[in-house]
Amino acid sequence: MGRQDGVIFPLVAVVALLLAFFMTNAALLYEAEQQAAHAVRQAAEADELVQMAVFDVKEQIAATAAVTTKQEGKWTYPRGEAVCRWQKETEASVRVFLTVRSAAGLQRTVAFTVALPSLDITEWTEQNG
C-alpha cells in the first residue's frame, strides 16, 4: 500500500488541467461566436441602409425627369447616412454612385445603372470598405 500514496495527486492534477482547458476553450468559442454575431448585425445594418438609399435615389431620379448633368444627394437615416451622385449616361440610363456609412462605422460603396423610365436596376457593382 505504501507505493499507491503518490497516485491521487497527479490524477487530480491531470483532471483539473483538462477541466481548465475545456473551460478556457468554451470561453474562447463563446467570444468568437459573439464577434461573428456582431459582424452579421453590422452587415445587415449596412444592407438595410443600402436598400433605403437605393429607394430614395430612385425616387429622386423619378422626381427630376430631366437629368442632364451630374447631381448629388445626401440622406441621413437613424442608423447611418448615404452620399450619392448620379449622372445621365444615355437617354435610357442613369449611372449612380452610392456610399453608405452605418452608425457602427461600416462603409459600403456601390455603383449601379438605373434604366429610364422603368427605374429598374440593370447593372450592380459593389466594393466593401
pLDDT digits (tens, 9 = 90+) for 62-75: 777 665 667 888 88
Map residue 126 onto helix, strand or coil.
strand
The DSSP annotation for 71-124 comes to EEEEEEETTEEEEEEEEEEETTEEEEEEEEEETTS-EEEEEEEEETTT--EEEE
State which residues form the domain around 57.
5-125
pLDDT in tens, 96-110: 899 998 888 888 889
Counted domains in the chain: 1
Task: With CA atoms as reference, report the closest residue to 113 among 92, 85, 89, 94.
Answer: 94
Q: Is 119 left (phi over 0), alpha (psi -120 to 50) or beta?
A: left
pTM: 0.68
